[in-house]
Amino acid sequence: MSRRTRIFVGIFVVYLAAVAFLLQRVTADLDPRYRESAEESLVDTANLLATLLERNTFNGVIPTDDLERTLTHLARRPIYARIFEIEKTAVDLHVYVTDRNGIVLFDSRGRDVGQDFLAWRDVQLTLTGAYGARTTLLDEGDAASAVMYVGAAIRERDAARTLGLGPSILAGEDIVGMVAVGKPVAAFLPFIANARQKLLLVGLISVGAFALLLFIATVWLVRPFGLLRDVWIAVRREGGSPLVLARRLTHALRTAFAEARDTLAGRSYVDEYVQTLAHELKSPLAAIRGAAELLREPMPEATRARFTGNIEEQTQRAQAMIDRLLELSNLERRGALEQTENVDLVALVQAVRDEQQATAQQRQVALELDLPPRASLDGDAFLVHRALANLVRNAVDFAPAGSTVTIGLAPQHKRWQIMVRDRGPGLPDYAQGRVFERFYSLPRPDGGRKSTGLGLAFVREVAALHGGSASLANHPDGGALATLTLPRQPSFVERRA
């Protein structure tokens, strides 16, 4: 994956992570916020019931008959309310009343009358004049069985005020009991679930809108008509199964996105190339400048010829670097194969062997073939030839004199593996994973100069254009093994006017 691709993928991943983090924080905060809202409503209800009970409270006696009749009628009352998507058909409240000692005088469920509730937090705090509330699990193993309770004090005024005798030094209000109102947490869980679903929907819409914006930018900024043409070609070209059609459509969109990425990141792309090229050209230019300065001085003819040859060698090196860089840049920006043909791999490998034979003989290296009777694939013959030539030339450079470089073909599940193995020193540990980087090159074993470092990068781009891959690793029996894996039929082809 190129640096530019990693940048764009990184931006998208950061956006997704930010959306996911925001949704997680908001959804995690929904439950306590709903509980706070429900608790506030319970406070109002509890104080309303306490006020009603205080009207008939006298001499420490809290009558609960009216409350019991009211709650009985409430349980029978038909209720229907649609709160957004949630339907409510019953009142989910548990009410109990205690005296000043915490003994239950009334329980809307009819179960706990006479029980001592003073140990409960809501009862204990309310009877002391503080705010009392608690949440209790009815079933210890079920978190959804929790019930929230809020208490309100029942106060009785002194006799002087009650009889209307005016102010008294004993005037005041005594807490003679409390009323608690409870509501199951499960009653508002549907609201929480509904809110979470809506938040998730908003998040998905946000991600979808971001993807749509990226697609629109791709179509608008890069090639609005070329993309439609590619899609039309993908639909009409040779028919094919729905899976093949989906692959072609996917690649048409992927190529358009890649071009949009390159267009938007074009400046950094060019800067990267210029900086790298300038760095690599420093060495040959310094050598040329040094040799030119020395040639101004009187020297023997043999020395002069050596310096002149050095200038020619460094000039050729710089020219080769520029030519290969332009070739690689053109290949990287191509995006997809312009056309394909049926490539006879056996004949292609033999042609590469014949082409590299002279160089191999000069280095006393034998080129050995390990080929099946027939092998072919659909692709660009010229690019595959150039990629294999780079691999063979690289293997010959690292092969010791008197050794053999083997070029082989092997089938692998609708793909062909083109393998080039040398018997050289192999890859050092520090070079593992970097050999396909632009301008990265290792010194030759015979002390020769480094190459341009663009050959393997070219091989990787050729493999990517064909929907394949390229690798270079140490062979278990010594030396290095380069593998170019290409599909027999590429899943996409792009044609441009």
Complete DSSP assignment for 287-349: HHHHHHHHHTS---HHHHHHHHHHHHHHHHHHHHHHHHHHHHHHHHHH-S-S--EEEEHHHHH
Better pLDDT: 187 or 102: 102
Measured CA to CA, the distance from residue 136 to residue 129 in angstroms comes to 21
pLDDT for 496 beyond 80: no
- 33-42, 104-113, 198-207, 282-291 — which is least confidently predicted? 282-291
pLDDT for 245 beyond 70: no
pLDDT for 408 beyond 90: yes
pLDDT for 100 beyond 70: yes
Q: Considering the chain, what percentage of its residues have pLDDT values greater than 90?
A: 25
- 132-141, 195-204, 433-442, 465-474 — which is least confidently predicted? 433-442
pLDDT at 313: 73
Strands (E), 108-145: 133-137
pLDDT at 492: 44
pLDDT digits (tens, 9 = 90+) for 358-391: 889 988 999 999 999 999 988 888 888 888 988 9
* Strand 415-421 with 404-411, pairing: antiparallel
- 281-285, 353-357, 376-380, 420-424 — which is least confidently predicted? 281-285
Helix (H) or strand (E) holding 378: strand 376-379
pLDDT for 24 beyond 60: yes
- Under DSSP, the state recorded for 399 is S
pLDDT at 170: 38
Q: Which residues pair with 428 in a beta bridge?
A: none
pTM: 0.44
pLDDT digits (tens, 9 = 90+) for 36-62: 888 898 999 999 999 999 988 988 899
pLDDT at 293: 80
Domains of the chain and CATH, by start: 33-192 (3.30.450.20), 335-497 (3.30.565.10)
Q: Could you please report the per-residue DSSP string of 446-483?
A: TSPPP--S-HHHHHHHHHHHTT-EEEEEE-TTSSEEEE
Place of tokens 């109002």: 44
pLDDT digits (tens, 9 = 90+) for 294-335: 788 888 888 888 878 878 877 876 776 676 666 666 666 565
pLDDT at 168: 39
- 66-75, 126-135, 294-303 — which is least confidently predicted? 294-303
pLDDT at 195: 81
- 137-146, 210-219, 237-246, 365-374 — which is least confidently predicted? 237-246
pLDDT digits (tens, 9 = 90+) for 413-437: 889 999 999 998 888 888 777 788 7
- Under DSSP, the state recorded for 85 is T
Measured CA to CA, the distance from residue 491 to residue 497 in angstroms comes to 21
pLDDT band at 493 (very low <50, low <70, confident <90, very high): very low
pLDDT band at 178 (very low <50, low <70, confident <90, very high): very high
Query: Averaged over 432-455, what is the pLDDT?
Result: 71
The pair phi, psi for residue 80, each rounded to 5°, is: -145, 125
For 348-362, b/e burial (b = at least 16 CB within 10 A) is bbeebbeebeeebee
Measured CA to CA, the distance from residue 262 to residue 4 in angstroms comes to 8
Encoding tokens for residue 306? 């050596």
Within 152-265, where are the H helices? 159-162, 189-221, 224-236, 242-264
pLDDT for 228 beyond 60: no
pLDDT for 104 beyond 80: yes
> 395, 348, 353: which is closest to 376 by C-alpha?
348
Encoding tokens for residue 394? 């690289």
pLDDT at 390: 85
pLDDT for 241 beyond 70: no
pLDDT band at 495 (very low <50, low <70, confident <90, very high): very low
Query: Averaged over 221-243, what is the pLDDT?
Result: 54
pLDDT digits (tens, 9 = 90+) for 135-154: 998 888 787 788 999 999 99
